[in-house]
Structure 1
Amino acid sequence: MTGNAHPRTAGDGTTSRTRLDRGRGALGPALELVHTGRAPTRAVLTAELGVTRATAGAVAAELEALGLIRVDARPGAPAGSQGRPSHRLSVADDGPVALAAQVHADGFRAALVGLGGRIVATAPGCETGDADPAKVLGSVVEAGAELLRSTGLRCVGAGLAVPSAVAEPDGLALNPLHLAWEPGVPVRRIFAECVRAAGITGPAFAANDINLMALAEHRHGAGRGARDLLCVATGHRGVGGALVLDGRLHTGSSGLALEVGHLAVNPEGRPCHCGGRGCLDVETDPLALLTAAGRAPGPEISLLRHAAELIRDSYDDLGVRTAAETLIDRLGLGLAGLVNILNPDRIILGGLHRTLLEADPERLRAVVAERSLWGQSGGVPILACSLDHNSLVGAAELAWQPVLDDPLEALA
C-alpha cells in the first residue's frame, strides 16, 4: 500500500479509527455493565451497548488491557442453549481496589473492595470510638493502608461511610450524634487529608452510611433491578433511609434527603434528639428493642449485635416476642407512610430491621398493606438486604465511580 491509500475499513463500513473512538466512548458504560453483573457475556454487552460485535470486542479487550475485566479466551454457552457461543466477561480478580472505610457508634472498620462489589481484604474492626474525628479517621485509614501494603494492590481511591447526614457540597457531617463528634465536622476534608498523609492515591469521598447501603444493594444485592428503591435500616443507633429513583441515588439538593428516622410513629413515645417524640429513630432501633424487652445493654457487644441475637436466639420468650412485635408494628406504620409518599417498587431493610423482617415477615407486610393506600392492591415487595458489609461496599462505590465514568482518564 502507498501513503495515499484509504484508511482500512471494518466489515460494518466504519474505519478502524472510528470504531476505536466509538469504543472509547463506550468504555465506561461497558465497565458498569460488567461491574453490576448485567453483561455476563460479550453478546449481552453488544446488545446492551447497541454497538457491533467488533466494537464490543474492542471495548472488552481495552478494559481487559487496563486490568479491570477478564474475557474468556474460548467462547462457551450453557448446556442446552441455542445460538452462537459468546465469550464470558468477569471482573478481574487481581485488578485494582478501592479503600472502603466505615465509622459507627462502636468503632470503625476498613476493607479493600474490587469491582463487582467484591470484598478482597478486611482489617480487624475497632470496637472503640473517640471524640476526635481526625484521630478516628486517621486510624481507619492507616488500617486500610496496611491492607494495601500487604496485598500490593493498586488503589483507585477511598470512600467513607458515616452515620450522619453529610451536607453537600462541603462534606460536613451535620448530626454525628452517636459518634460524640461536634455537628458540622468537615468529615470529607479530614478523611481526604488522612488518605493523602497515608500515601494512598486517588480521590477521597464521604457520605451517609444508609445512602451507601442503598447504593451497594441496588448495584449488587437485593435491590438490583429495581427502578425506585426504598431502603430503611438501623445502624448501631438510630434509623436511616435512602431512595434510589429511576436507578440513581436521590440525595436531594444538598445531600440531606430522606431523613426517615424522624418520621413520627408513636405520638406518646420516647423523646427524640430532633426535638420530636416517638420518631422511628428512637422507637425502632436496637436500644428501643432492648429497652422494650427489659434487657440492659451489655458492654461486651454492640447494641446492634445484642438486639439481633436476642431476637434470633430468644424469640420464643414472651417478653422478647412482644417487644419485637411492637417494633414491627411501628416500623410498618412508618414504611406505609413512606410508600404513600414515594410509591417505590421495592423496599429493602437492613440492620435490626432486617432481623425483624426475618423474624415475622407476614406481620410486617400486613401492617404495611393495611396502612398504605396501594397496599391492598398487591403491595410492595419488602426484602432483606443481602450483602454483608453493604455500607463498606457502598463506600467503595464512591471511589469506583470516577473509573466507571471514564476508565482511561481515571487510571491514567
Structure 2
Amino acid sequence: MNGKATSNRTKLERGRGALGPALELVHTGRAPTRAVLTAELGVTRATAGAVAAELEALGLIRVDSRPAAAAGSQGRPSHRLSIDEAGPVVLAAQVHGDGFRAALVGLGGRTVATAPTCAPVAADPAQVLGEVVAAGAALLRRSGRRCVGAGLAVPSALAEPEGTALNPLHIAWPAGSPVRDVFAERVRDAGITGPAFTGNDVNLAALAEHRHGAGRGARHLLCVATGHRGVGGALVLDGRLHTGSSGLALEVGHLTVSPEGRPCHCGSRGCLDVETDPLAFLLSAGREPGPEVSLLQQSRELLRSEYDDPAVRRAGAELVDRLGQGLAGLVNILNPDRIILGGLHRELFAADPERLRAVVADRSLWGRSGGVPILGCALDHNSLVGAAELAWQPVLDDPLTALA
C-alpha cells in the first residue's frame, strides 16, 4: 500500500473514531458550530467537516453551510450544527407510584411524542411493563420513525448486574423483581428494535440534567429529588453516574433527619423519604390527601396557590429545614460542586431559596467558607429523558455500529 493510501486510511479511521465524541458534543449542545466542534475534538477543520458530513449522512444531525451572520459580526460564520429533527428516536418509559409515561425521544433530549397514564400500578411488573411498552409501540406506529433502543426509569434501587428491583417501596412490586429482563422481553415481543435498558429514576434524572439541564458543566453533581412518593439521590462524577459496587449507591432517602419522626418503610424513623416528600408536606400543612390527582401534583398546587396560609408556610419551612439538614450531611461526605433539586424539593427551594441555602451553610463543614451552588432541576420529566439517554448511549458510543 502506497503512502498516500495509508494516509487517507488513517484520516478516515481518525474521523470515524471521532464520530461518537462529535455526536455527543452536538447532542449535549456543546458544539453548535463546526468551528467549536473542531476545537473540542482537537482535529483539523477538514476532519471535523468530514465527521459532521458523515453524521449528517446517517440522519443524526443537520449541517447548515450558509448560516446567517450575527449582527455586527465580521467574516464568514462557521457552519451551524443541529440535531436532525426527522432522525431516529428511542422509546423512553417511566413507572411511578401513580401510573406510567411512555414517550419517543430524539437526540438532544427532545420529546417527540408522549403517552401519560395516571392509574394505580399493578402488583405484577410484567403486566405494567407490558402496558408501558404497548403504549410506546403505539406511539412508534403513529410516528413512522425509526427506533434504535428503549430505556425505562423505575422508582427502585436496581441491583447490578442482574437489574432486579430491590426495594420498590412505593409501588406494590415484589422485592427482587427482574425488571430489566422483563422490560427487555416486552420490548422484543413488541417488535421494537435496538437494545433495552433500565435504571433508577433519580439516577436517570441526574444524568439528563447533567447533559441537558441544570447540571451542565458540573464535575461533581449531586441530585436530590422527590418523586410522587419518597426521596431519591444521585451523583454524577465527571459525566458518569456513580452507582457504587452493585448499583445501590446514594440511597439518600434513608438519611435520618428527625430521629423521633415518622416511621419509614425501611424500618427506621425520621428519614428524608418520609419527612420531605409530598405526603409529608400535605400532612404537615394539615391537608388530607385526595385520590383525584397525584400527591406530587396536590403538593405543588398547594404550595403555589396557598403559600400565604400560615399552616402551609410553616409546613414548607419545616420540610426545607429537614431537607437542608440532609443536604449538609451529603455535602460533608461528597463535596459536590453543584446541587440540583427535583420534584417538590425544587418547588420548596423556589419558594424560599435563602432559607435552604442558610441551613446547608450552617450545618455543613465548608458551607461558610465557599458554599455549594444549589439550583432547581431545569427539565420537565427528567427521569424520562434520562431513560432515553440510556437508550441513546450505544449510538453516542459508536454511531456506525449502532445504526448498521
After TM superposition, is the score higher than 0.5? yes
Equivalence for 1:384: 376
Q: Is the 8 A contact 2:106 2:112 kept in 1?
A: yes
- Counting only pairs closer than 5 Å after superposition, residues 176-195 of structure 1 correspond to structure 2 as 176-195=168-187
Q: TM-score, normalised by structure 2?
A: 0.98
- Counting only pairs closer than 5 Å after superposition, residues 355-374 of structure 1 correspond to structure 2 as 355-374=347-366
Equivalence for 2:164: 172
Q: Is the 8 A contact 1:265 1:280 kept in 2?
A: yes
The 1:5/1:255 distance shift into structure 2, 3 A limit, reads closer
- Alpha-carbon offset, residue 124 of structure 1: 3.4
Q: Is the 8 A contact 2:276 2:323 kept in 1?
A: yes
CA distance in 2, matches of 1:112, 1:205: 15
- Alpha-carbon offset, residue 123 of structure 1: 1.2
Stretches of structure 1 lacking an aligned partner (at least 5 in a row): 9-13
Equivalence for 1:161: 153
For 1:359-395, what per-residue CA distance to the aligned partner results, in whole angstroms no more than 9, with x for missing partners? 1111111111111111112311110001011000000
- Alpha-carbon offset, residue 75 of structure 1: 4.6
Equivalence for 2:132: 140
Q: Quick one: which amino acid aligns to residue 61 of structure 1?
A: A
Q: Say whether residues 1:317 and 2:309 are aligned partners.
A: yes
- Alpha-carbon offset, residue 6 of structure 1: 6.1
Equivalence for 1:11: none
Query: How many residues end up aligned between the 2 structures?
Result: 404
Equivalence for 2:50: 58
Q: Say whether residues 1:7 and 2:7 are aligned partners.
A: no
Which stretch shifts more, 38-47 or 270-279?
270-279
- Counting only pairs closer than 5 Å after superposition, residues 258-273 of structure 1 correspond to structure 2 as 258-273=250-265
SS in 1 for 2:188: helix
SS in 1 for 2:322: helix
CA distance in 1, matches of 2:120, 2:345: 24
The 1:157/1:52 distance shift into structure 2, 3 A limit, reads same
CA distance in 2, matches of 1:106, 1:395: 18
For 1:129-162, what per-residue CA distance to the aligned partner results, in whole angstroms no more than 9, with x for missing partners? 1111111000010000000000000011000000
- Alpha-carbon offset, residue 73 of structure 1: 2.7
- Counting only pairs closer than 5 Å after superposition, residues 289-368 of structure 1 correspond to structure 2 as 289-368=281-360
- Alpha-carbon offset, residue 125 of structure 1: 2.2
CA distance in 2, matches of 1:49, 1:344: 27
- Alpha-carbon offset, residue 128 of structure 1: 2.6
Equivalence for 2:390: 398
SS in 2 for 1:347: strand
Q: Is the 8 A contact 1:164 1:208 kept in 2?
A: yes
Task: Work out which of the residue numbers 203, 216, 231 in structure 2 matches 1:239.
Answer: 231
Identity of aligned residues (%): 81
Equivalence for 1:196: 188
CA distance in 1, matches of 2:401, 2:280: 48
CA distance in 2, matches of 1:319, 1:53: 62
The 1:83/1:267 distance shift into structure 2, 3 A limit, reads farther
Q: Quick one: which amino acid aligns to residue 39 of structure 1?
A: A
CA distance in 2, matches of 1:390, 1:269: 30
Equivalence for 2:11: 19
Q: Is the 8 A contact 1:34 1:40 kept in 2?
A: yes
For 1:77-124, what per-residue CA distance to the aligned partner results, in whole angstroms no more than 9, with x for missing partners? 422345552100001100000100000011101000000000011113
Two-structure CA RMSD over aligned residues (Å)? 1.3
Q: Is the 8 A contact 1:76 1:86 kept in 2?
A: no
Equivalence for 1:110: 102
Q: Is the 8 A contact 1:76 1:87 kept in 2?
A: no
For 1:2-46, what per-residue CA distance to the aligned partner results, in whole angstroms no more than 9, with x for missing partners? xx98636xxxxx833221110000000000000000000000000
CA distance in 2, matches of 1:313, 1:279: 28
CA distance in 2, matches of 1:21, 1:6: 15
CA distance in 2, matches of 1:196, 1:78: 48
SS in 2 for 1:7: helix
CA distance in 2, matches of 1:331, 1:86: 46
CA distance in 2, matches of 1:80, 1:371: 50
The 1:75/1:316 distance shift into structure 2, 3 A limit, reads closer
- Alpha-carbon offset, residue 279 of structure 1: 0.5
Q: Is the 8 A contact 1:69 1:91 kept in 2?
A: yes
SS in 1 for 2:330: helix
